[in-house]
Amino acid sequence: MVEMVKNAGPLVIALFFLSILTISFVVERFWVLGVARGKLGHQKFLAQMKSALERKDISALETLCKQNKGSDSRIVHGLIETYQQHKGKPLFELKERLTDRAGELSAIEGSLLERNLIAMATIGSIATMMGLLGTVVGMIRSFAALSMGETSAGPASQQLAQGIAEALVNTASGLFVAITAIIFYNYFLNRIDMYNFNMEEASKGFMEGVLTR
């Protein structure tokens, strides 16, 4: 098996490098999304945030955000800073300031959550094409070996087998890397959509709490 991979050509080495990159991105995204979840989780954080707002205890809410360290709590912490800077202004102006700030913070958090996803999608696309290219190269070598069949049957049959093996190894490697990258890309995209919803829910909950009480 090892010898077959060695004889599969340089494209397999490139695909191996892409597989290492994919694994690195997957591990890094799992870690980032785990931190973005926060220590409490969204529902517990939301419940404690609403409790603090009902008590009108902004200081306690700020402490909660610092301790939780999730993406939703970072949004709320940024809104607390904006609220404290503009809380003496008219209600409509305060609401406008908070809404604009919520959009800015959501964009920042969203970009952090989506980092490296474009790279994973790109790997998923080019790995298949690289595998196909390796397959074509292997088949070219196989047909070249067939053309030598009349003069040197032994070496030709050996080169034919190597060419077919190269084609199959490249196909399998390209598909494996592409399938892995695409599966995790879609998985992370789904989780990020949920996080974006959580951030929007937290920001709206905070604004409702400070603007209507």
**pLDDT band, very low/low/confident/very high, at 164 (cuts 50, 70, 90):** confident
pLDDT at position 146 is: 64
pLDDT at 6 over 80: no
Mean pLDDT of 12-32: 92
Q: Please tell me the total count of domains within the chain.
A: 1
CA distance 2 to 23: 21
Least confident of 20-24, 131-135, 173-177, 195-199: 131-135
CA distance 185 to 112: 15
CB–CB of 47/32 below 8 Å? no
Interior/surface letters 62-77, b for 16+ CB within 10 angstroms, e for the rest: bebbeebebbbbbbbb
**pLDDT band, very low/low/confident/very high, at 105 (cuts 50, 70, 90):** very high
CA distance 100 to 64: 23
Question: How far does the chain reach from its first CA to its final CA, in angstroms?
Answer: 70
pLDDT at 76 over 60: yes
**pLDDT band, very low/low/confident/very high, at 33 (cuts 50, 70, 90):** very high
pLDDT at 10 over 90: no
**pLDDT band, very low/low/confident/very high, at 22 (cuts 50, 70, 90):** very high
pLDDT at 154 over 60: no
Is 161 exposed, middle or buried, given 0-12, 13-18 or 19+ CB atoms closer than 10 A? middle
Q: Which residues contact 91 (CB under 8 A, 6 or more apart)?
A: 211
- How high is the mean pLDDT of the chain? 85
Mean pLDDT of 81-97: 86
For residue 80, the enclosing domain spans: 2-212
Output the DSSP codes for 139-154.
HHHHHHHHHTTTT-HH
